Chains A and B, each alone.
Chain A
Amino acid sequence: MSHLSPFQTFLLLSILKVVVVLVITLTAVAYTVLLERKVLGRIQNRWGPSRTGPFGLLQPLADGIKLFLKEDLLPIAAERPLFIIAPIIALSCALISIAVVPFGGMQTVKGVEMFNIADLNIGLLVILGITSIGVYGIALSGWSSNNKFALLGSLRATSQMISYELALGLSLVGVVLRAQSLSLRDIVNSQGAHGLLSWNFFGGFQFVGFFIYIMAAYAETNRAPFDLPEAESELVAGYHTEYSSMKFAMFFMAEYANMITVSCVASLLFFGGASSPLGHLLPADFGGPILSAIFPILWFVGKVLGFLLLFIWVRGTLPRFRYDQLMSFGWKFLLPLAMVNIIITSLVIALRS
């Protein structure tokens, strides 16, 4: 690679990173669906998918083939271009936000950081912005399918996401105040000093912010107990009622990709991201250069997996909220609480400095 200019190495390595992360994310999406079905099955005292392959491990592949081969129906009265664009917006917004997540330690090859597609100085705002654009996918899908249930579902989803975006954004301010930066890499580094004890959740006393974040995130991803947009007892399937085949699969994948993003952000902001909970108990070069590059990734994946299991556990445990309860919970409880959290955190930081 010596004859390549720095820009060419940067370009090639970036394309490589994008492809690898995309493939891993999509595989993770497929297997999160399987994990959810298995764990929900066990919670409800049944087996879940177990016939396709060993332990049902080939089930995502079978699902994918089924969805590809299904007939792609397009309602006559649908707004054609918007009906097609809506799932693309939803899925691409869900996948783009992975790009700013640092999923490993700081490892550079020829001046290009390996375990992070783009380290932006406003990484957190980029994630929030992309999430807010993702609302369009859902809003347009409901409107363009020209179906009452879909329209009601998408109206519910849109208003819910806009309302909870406030609490979500405000719950992160405490973390930003502590790290004094919006770059995700800096936020992770600010928690790396003493392992578990310096994570924002434990050492930073941001657990109030964390609980606000996790509740708002469940509402943002339209997951139980806030899955009113697709409440099947009221709305058939909500905004994707009219969608079939790959278009439906794109919404489905977007939901799970959003879950993964939200779990990544939760572990980055509150649980130290790729840093080890043991801190400096182990020497920094423990296990040689290759293993010490892999350990942070394992910690990160473990944390994300924990959050995904929490998502599934909550879905298997809690009943669905009523719509007015959802709104008053978001506006009258989470939002004021997030503001109190900001005030107290900034007071403590101001008094300490």
Chain B
Amino acid sequence: MQLALFLIFGGLAVAGALNLLFQRHPINSALSLVVVMMSLAVLYWSLGAEFLAASQVIVYSGAIMVFFVFVIMLLNAGEEERTTGSRAAYLVGFPGAAAIFCLLSFVFLSERKALGYTNIGGYLNHVTSNISEISTLLFTKLLLPFEVTSILILVAILGAVVLARKEQ
């Protein structure tokens, strides 16, 4: 069951990511990104991080991507033109992407023990609830980073207000 979920939604995430690159209209790309995020949420959930899954759906798919779609709709962005691509992308991009892929898989495979394991599934119903654990962690051990992040977001909001305000 869990393996099936992983195969279906992992495949869906990869397909959505590829579709994001190949689509010519920005709104289709944005919607493929939504599909990627939703499938990632299902994967998180099947790994036992149900709170992370829910916040992924609410924050990323429900708020941020809606604003992306909104901006595309308002700007009425047309279809992209196909170019043959720059030479730099071919020379640096493909080897770079391959290198990052190899590096990450090497790290994950060699540090398996240190990273630890989690069982797939068994979390979907009432077995564990990690919301209280997350909140305890956030308000004790990670209090400083948490508050600093909130201040960072506050600064960003203030900056947006200053930029958007009309000159008197």
CA distance A136 to B38 in the complex (A): 13
Could you say which residues of chain A place their CB within 8 Å of the CB of B58?
125, 128-129, 132, 169
Tell me, yes or no, whether B3 is within 8 Å of chain A by CB: no
Could you say which residues of chain A place their CB within 8 Å of the CB of B53?
122
Tell me, yes or no, whether A30 is within 8 Å of chain B by CB: no
Tell me, yes or no, whether B62 is within 8 Å of chain A by CB: yes
Tell me, yes or no, whether B43 is within 8 Å of chain A by CB: no
Interface Cβ pair total, 8 Å cutoff? 76
Please judge, given known A-B contacts A129-B62, A162-B63, A162-B66, whether A143 and B27 are in contact too, CB under 8 Å.
Answer: yes
* A125 adjacent to B51 (CB under 8 Å): yes
CA distance A235 to B16 in the complex (A): 35
Interface of A is mostly: helix
Could you say which residues of chain A place their CB within 8 Å of the CB of B61?
129, 132-133
* A155 adjacent to B126 (CB under 8 Å): no
Tell me, yes or no, whether A94 is within 8 Å of chain B by CB: no
Please judge, given known A-B contacts A119-B126, A122-B131, A143-B27, whether A136 and B50 are in contact too, CB under 8 Å.
Answer: no
Tell me, yes or no, whether A182 is within 8 Å of chain B by CB: yes
Tell me, yes or no, whether A245 is within 8 Å of chain B by CB: no
* B27 adjacent to A136 (CB under 8 Å): no
Tell me, yes or no, whether A317 is within 8 Å of chain B by CB: no
Spot the interface stretch: B68-76, B100-108, B138-146, B160-168: B68-76
Picked from B57, B73, B125, B126, the residue with its CB within 8 Å of the CB of A132 is B57
Q: How many residues of A contact B (CB 8 A)?
A: 31
Tell me, yes or no, whether A82 is within 8 Å of chain B by CB: yes
Could you say which residues of chain A place their CB within 8 Å of the CB of B51?
122, 125
CB distance from A126 to the nearest CB of B (A): 7
Could you say which residues of chain B place their CB within 8 Å of the CB of A122?
50-51, 53-54, 131
Could you say which residues of chain A place their CB within 8 Å of the CB of B124?
120
Could you say which residues of chain B place their CB within 8 Å of the CB of A259?
none
CB distance from A246 to the nearest CB of B (A): 22
* B34 nearest in chain A by CB position: A136
Please judge, given known A-B contacts A121-B129, A155-B74, whether A129 and B66 are in contact too, CB under 8 Å.
Answer: no
* A129 adjacent to B57 (CB under 8 Å): yes
* A158 adjacent to B66 (CB under 8 Å): yes
Tell me, yes or no, whether A181 is within 8 Å of chain B by CB: yes
CA distance A183 to B74 in the complex (A): 38
Q: How many residues of B contact A (CB 8 A)?
A: 26
* A158 adjacent to B54 (CB under 8 Å): no
Could you say which residues of chain A place their CB within 8 Å of the CB of B63?
132, 162, 165
* A155 adjacent to B57 (CB under 8 Å): no
Please judge, given known A-B contacts A139-B73, A140-B69, whether A129 and B27 are in contact too, CB under 8 Å.
Answer: no
CA distance A165 to B67 in the complex (A): 14
Q: Mark B26-58, 1 if CB is under 8 A from A, else 0.
A: 010001001000100000000000110111011
The residue among B57, B63, B66 with the most chain A CB atoms within 10 A of its own CB is: B66
Could you say which residues of chain B place their CB within 8 Å of the CB of A262?
none
CB distance from B20 to the nearest CB of A (A): 16
* A139 adjacent to B125 (CB under 8 Å): no
CA distance A142 to B66 in the complex (A): 13
* B54 adjacent to A155 (CB under 8 Å): no
CA distance A79 to B31 in the complex (A): 14
Please judge, given known A-B contacts A132-B62, A135-B62, whether A182 and B73 are in contact too, CB under 8 Å.
Answer: no
CA distance A132 to B129 in the complex (A): 23
Picked from A121, A135, A136, A151, the residue with its CB within 8 Å of the CB of B126 is A121
Could you say which residues of chain A place their CB within 8 Å of the CB of B69?
136, 139-140, 143
CB distance from A174 to the nearest CB of B (A): 16
CB distance from A167 to the nearest CB of B (A): 14
CB within 8 Å of B: which residues of A? 79, 82, 119-122, 125-126, 128-129, 131-133, 135-136, 139-140, 142-143, 151, 154-155, 158-159, 162, 165, 169, 180-183
CB within 8 Å of A: which residues of B? 27, 31, 34, 38, 50-51, 53-55, 57-58, 61-63, 66-67, 69-70, 73-74, 124-126, 129, 131-132
Q: Can you identify 5 A-B contacts, CB atoms within 8 angstroms?
A: A126-B54, A132-B62, A135-B62, A143-B69, A158-B70
Question: Would you list the 3 A-B pairs with minimal beta carbon distance, nearest first?
Answer: A132-B62, A125-B54, A129-B57
Known: A139-B66, A183-B126. 19 other contacts (CB 8 A): A120-B50, A121-B125, A121-B129, A122-B131, A125-B54, A125-B55, A129-B54, A132-B57, A132-B58, A132-B62, A136-B31, A136-B34, A136-B66, A140-B31, A140-B69, A143-B73, A158-B66, A165-B62, A165-B63
